[in-house]
Structure 1
């Protein structure tokens, strides 16, 4: 299995519902380092997994919709706990949509898996991995 990873970051504000979240039930900020890993069994005809520049551009496009936003104010997240795990899956699903739409080039259709990791800090992070 071959893979490449591109990186971005986002800064958001949000709050959570439920006692399990303790003080995070109040509005707070979070800065995430975002890693998107693209995997495939065989390299394409150019001997790459995917064009790293296109992958970075599409990751930035997906994350820009979240960056510098209070997610509590976004209609699509009303009543949703926008946990680190939830956001990792959201970004992975949006990247998968971009691949299916051809935004990363035709050869990117050979990508078999995407993993998105959101690093909350140097000691805590969450990952979501999915098939294409």
Structure 2
């Protein structure tokens, strides 16, 4: 299995509901380093997993929709605990939509899956991997 990873980051504000979150129930900021890893069994005719430029651009656009936002004020996240795990899935699903729409190039249609990892710090991160 081949893979290619692109990296970017985003800064958000949010709060959580539930005692399990302790002080994070209050509004706080988070900066995430975001890795998007694309997997495929065989390289495309150009010997690529996916076009790195297109992958980087699409990831940046998706993160740009969330960057510098208070996620508590985003209507689609109303009442949702926007945990690191949840946000990894949001980014992966949005990337998958763009793959299906051809925005990562025709060769990307043969990708096996995408894995998105959000790193909160050097000691804590979460990932979501989904088939395409």
Question: Which residue is 1:107 aligned to?
Answer: 107
SS of equivalent to 2:4: strand
Runs of 4+ residues over 3 Å off in structure 1: none
Matched, 1:41 2:34: no
Matched, 1:75 2:70: no
SS of equivalent to 1:44: coil
Structure 2, unpaired ranges of 5+: none
Matched, 1:85 2:85: yes
Question: Which residue is 2:31 aligned to?
Answer: 31
**1:106 and 1:68 mapped to 2: Cα distance?**
32
Cα distance, 1:4 vs structure 2: 0.3
Could you tell me the TM-score, scaled by structure 1's length?
Answer: 0.99
TM-align CA RMSD: 0.3
Question: Which residue is 2:52 aligned to?
Answer: 52
Please show how residues 6-17 of structure 1 align to structure 2 within 5 Å. 6-17=6-17
Cα distance, 1:105 vs structure 2: 0.7
Question: Which residue is 1:94 aligned to?
Answer: 94
